Protein backbone atom coordinates (compact mmCIF):
# COMPACT_ATOMS: atom_id res chain seq x y z
CA UNK A 1 0.00 0.00 0.00
CA UNK A 2 1.36 3.43 -0.90
CA UNK A 3 0.55 6.72 0.77
CA UNK A 4 -1.65 7.55 -2.23
CA UNK A 5 -3.83 4.56 -1.30
CA UNK A 6 -4.76 6.10 2.04
CA UNK A 7 -5.23 9.73 1.10
CA UNK A 8 -3.73 12.79 -0.53
CA UNK A 9 -0.08 12.60 -1.45
CA UNK A 10 2.26 14.77 0.60
CA UNK A 11 5.86 15.61 -0.22
CA UNK A 12 7.35 16.01 3.26
CA UNK A 13 10.77 17.63 3.44
CA UNK A 14 12.59 17.16 6.76
CA UNK A 15 15.49 19.15 8.14
CA UNK A 16 17.07 18.69 11.57
CA UNK A 17 18.56 22.15 12.18
CA UNK A 18 19.31 22.12 15.92
CA UNK A 19 18.83 19.91 18.94
CA UNK A 20 19.37 16.27 19.77
CA UNK A 21 16.58 14.76 17.67
CA UNK A 22 16.13 11.14 16.60
CA UNK A 23 17.50 10.28 13.15
CA UNK A 24 15.96 11.91 10.10
CA UNK A 25 14.75 8.46 9.00
CA UNK A 26 12.90 7.96 12.30
CA UNK A 27 11.42 11.46 12.12
CA UNK A 28 10.40 10.93 8.49
CA UNK A 29 8.67 7.64 9.33
CA UNK A 30 6.74 9.18 12.23
CA UNK A 31 5.88 12.38 10.34
CA UNK A 32 4.70 10.53 7.23
CA UNK A 33 2.40 8.29 9.26
CA UNK A 34 0.97 11.19 11.27
CA UNK A 35 0.59 13.71 8.46
CA UNK A 36 -0.74 11.24 5.87
CA UNK A 37 -3.33 10.12 8.43
CA UNK A 38 -4.25 13.74 9.15
CA UNK A 39 -4.51 14.57 5.42
CA UNK A 40 -6.68 11.51 4.75
CA UNK A 41 -8.89 12.42 7.71
CA UNK A 42 -9.33 16.01 6.49
CA UNK A 43 -10.13 14.83 2.98
CA UNK A 44 -12.61 12.18 4.12
CA UNK A 45 -14.25 13.79 7.17
CA UNK A 46 -13.96 17.52 6.45
CA UNK A 47 -14.14 17.34 2.63
CA UNK A 48 -10.82 19.16 2.42
CA UNK A 49 -9.80 19.37 -1.25
CA UNK A 50 -6.26 18.56 -2.33
CA UNK A 51 -4.60 19.15 -5.70
CA UNK A 52 -3.79 16.14 -7.89
CA UNK A 53 -0.06 16.70 -7.49
CA UNK A 54 1.62 16.09 -4.12
CA UNK A 55 1.44 18.99 -1.69
CA UNK A 56 4.86 19.95 -0.33
CA UNK A 57 5.50 20.90 3.27
CA UNK A 58 8.64 21.20 5.29
CA UNK A 59 9.30 20.10 8.83
CA UNK A 60 12.12 21.84 10.63
CA UNK A 61 13.33 20.25 13.84
CA UNK A 62 14.94 22.86 16.07
CA UNK A 63 15.97 23.53 19.64
CA UNK A 64 14.54 26.07 22.09
CA UNK A 65 17.06 28.76 21.19
CA UNK A 66 16.43 28.52 17.45
CA UNK A 67 12.64 28.60 17.80
CA UNK A 68 12.92 31.47 20.31
CA UNK A 69 14.71 33.53 17.63
CA UNK A 70 12.12 32.67 14.98
CA UNK A 71 9.26 33.41 17.40
CA UNK A 72 10.84 36.80 18.26
CA UNK A 73 11.40 37.73 14.62
CA UNK A 74 8.05 36.65 13.19
CA UNK A 75 5.65 36.93 16.13
CA UNK A 76 7.33 39.54 18.38
CA UNK A 77 7.40 36.97 21.20
CA UNK A 78 10.95 36.64 22.53
CA UNK A 79 10.48 33.21 24.07
CA UNK A 80 10.61 29.62 22.88
CA UNK A 81 7.41 27.83 21.92
CA UNK A 82 6.66 24.20 21.08
CA UNK A 83 5.53 24.55 17.45
CA UNK A 84 5.31 27.28 14.83
CA UNK A 85 3.50 26.99 11.51
CA UNK A 86 4.02 29.22 8.51
CA UNK A 87 1.55 28.66 5.66
CA UNK A 88 3.05 29.24 2.22
CA UNK A 89 -0.16 30.99 1.19
CA UNK A 90 -3.20 32.14 3.17
CA UNK A 91 -5.72 29.31 3.31
CA UNK A 92 -9.14 29.07 4.90
CA UNK A 93 -10.31 25.69 6.20
CA UNK A 94 -11.80 23.84 3.24
CA UNK A 95 -9.88 25.91 0.68
CA UNK A 96 -7.73 24.34 -2.02
CA UNK A 97 -4.04 24.39 -1.05
CA UNK A 98 -1.41 25.21 -3.61
CA UNK A 99 1.61 23.05 -4.38
CA UNK A 100 3.45 24.43 -1.32
CA UNK A 101 1.59 24.05 1.97
CA UNK A 102 4.14 25.65 4.29
CA UNK A 103 6.56 25.03 7.14
CA UNK A 104 6.19 23.51 10.59
CA UNK A 105 8.98 24.13 13.11
CA UNK A 106 9.19 22.16 16.35
CA UNK A 107 11.50 22.68 19.36
CA UNK A 108 13.01 19.57 20.98
CA UNK A 109 13.48 20.65 24.58
CA UNK A 110 9.97 22.04 24.93
CA UNK A 111 8.49 18.86 23.47
CA UNK A 112 10.46 16.84 26.03
CA UNK A 113 9.43 19.05 28.98
CA UNK A 114 5.78 19.17 27.97
CA UNK A 115 5.64 15.42 27.36
CA UNK A 116 7.03 14.80 30.85
CA UNK A 117 4.61 17.33 32.40
CA UNK A 118 1.68 15.68 30.56
CA UNK A 119 2.86 12.16 31.45
CA UNK A 120 3.03 11.29 27.74
CA UNK A 121 5.77 9.74 25.68
CA UNK A 122 7.91 12.01 23.53
CA UNK A 123 6.45 10.46 20.34
CA UNK A 124 2.86 10.92 21.55
CA UNK A 125 3.41 14.62 22.24
CA UNK A 126 5.37 15.10 19.01
CA UNK A 127 2.48 13.44 17.15
CA UNK A 128 0.03 15.91 18.70
CA UNK A 129 2.21 18.89 17.78
CA UNK A 130 2.60 17.65 14.19
CA UNK A 131 -1.19 17.42 13.87
CA UNK A 132 -1.60 20.85 15.51
CA UNK A 133 0.95 22.47 13.19
CA UNK A 134 -0.53 20.73 10.15
CA UNK A 135 -4.02 22.09 10.90
CA UNK A 136 -2.58 25.62 11.15
CA UNK A 137 -1.31 25.24 7.57
CA UNK A 138 -4.92 24.64 6.49
CA UNK A 139 -6.15 27.83 8.13
CA UNK A 140 -7.32 26.45 11.47
CA UNK A 141 -6.51 28.62 14.47
CA UNK A 142 -7.19 29.00 18.17
CA UNK A 143 -7.29 32.75 18.69
CA UNK A 144 -11.04 32.91 19.28
CA UNK A 145 -12.79 30.42 21.58
CA UNK A 146 -15.02 29.07 18.78
CA UNK A 147 -11.96 28.55 16.54
CA UNK A 148 -10.08 26.87 19.38
CA UNK A 149 -12.99 24.51 20.03
CA UNK A 150 -13.16 23.55 16.34
CA UNK A 151 -9.40 23.05 16.03
CA UNK A 152 -9.08 21.09 19.27
CA UNK A 153 -12.01 18.86 18.28
CA UNK A 154 -10.33 18.10 14.92
CA UNK A 155 -7.01 17.39 16.65
CA UNK A 156 -8.73 15.03 19.08
CA UNK A 157 -10.49 13.15 16.28
CA UNK A 158 -7.30 12.80 14.22
CA UNK A 159 -5.32 11.68 17.27
CA UNK A 160 -8.01 9.07 18.00
CA UNK A 161 -7.46 7.62 14.51
CA UNK A 162 -3.77 7.44 15.44
CA UNK A 163 -4.66 5.61 18.67
CA UNK A 164 -3.99 8.52 21.04
CA UNK A 165 -6.24 9.95 23.74
CA UNK A 166 -7.79 13.42 23.88
CA UNK A 167 -4.97 15.83 24.82
CA UNK A 168 -7.49 18.50 25.87
CA UNK A 169 -9.69 16.39 28.15
CA UNK A 170 -10.69 18.46 31.18
CA UNK A 171 -9.26 21.74 29.81
CA UNK A 172 -10.89 24.87 28.51
CA UNK A 173 -10.08 25.72 24.86
CA UNK A 174 -6.85 27.70 24.56
19-77 residue pLDDT tens: 889 999 999 999 999 999 999 999 999 999 999 999 999 999 999 999 999 989 998 88
d(CA 40, CA 161): 11
DSSP string spanning 72-134? HHHHS--S--SEEEEESS---TTSPP-SEEEEEEEEHHHHHHHHHHTT--HHHHHHHHHHHHH
Is 174 within a domain?
no
Is 172 within a domain?
no
In this predicted structure, what is the pLDDT of residue 113?
A: 94
Name, in order, each residue with C-beta under 8 angstroms of 30's C-beta and a sequence gap of 6 or more. Answer: 123, 126, 127, 130
Is 171 within a domain?
no
Count of domains forming the chain: 1
The answer to whether the CB of 27 falls within 8 A of the CB of 73 is: no
The answer to whether the CB of 157 falls within 8 A of the CB of 134 is: no
115 lies in which domain range? 3-161
In this predicted structure, what is the pLDDT of residue 170?
A: 61
For residue 63, the domain's CATH number is 3.40.390.30
Is 169 within a domain?
no
Is 137 within a domain?
yes
- Is the pTM higher than 0.85? The answer reads yes
Over residues 104-145, the pLDDT tens digits come to: 999 999 999 999 999 999 999 999 999 999 999 999 988 778
In this predicted structure, what is the pLDDT of residue 3?
A: 43
In this predicted structure, what is the pLDDT of residue 141?
A: 87
The answer to whether the CB of 67 falls within 8 A of the CB of 105 is: yes
The answer to whether the CB of 155 falls within 8 A of the CB of 131 is: yes
Is 166 within a domain?
no
In this predicted structure, what is the pLDDT of residue 2?
A: 39
Is 118 within a domain?
yes
Angle, in degrees to the nearest 10, between helices 64-75 and 108-117: 100
Angle, in degrees to the nearest 10, between helices 145-161 and 24-45: 110
Q: What is the mean pLDDT of residues 149-160?
A: 92
Is 11 within a domain?
yes
Q: Write b or e for each residue in 48-83: b if 16 or more Cβ atoms lie within 10 A of its Cβ, otherwise e.
A: bebeeebbbbbbbbbbbebbbebbeeeeeeeebbbb
d(CA 66, CA 174): 24
In this predicted structure, what is the pLDDT of residue 80?
A: 86
Amino acid sequence: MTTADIGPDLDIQISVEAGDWPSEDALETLAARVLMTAAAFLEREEEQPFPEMPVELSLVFADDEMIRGINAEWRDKDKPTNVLSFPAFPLEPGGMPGPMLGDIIIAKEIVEREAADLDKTFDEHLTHLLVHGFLHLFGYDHIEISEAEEMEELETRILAVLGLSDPYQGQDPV
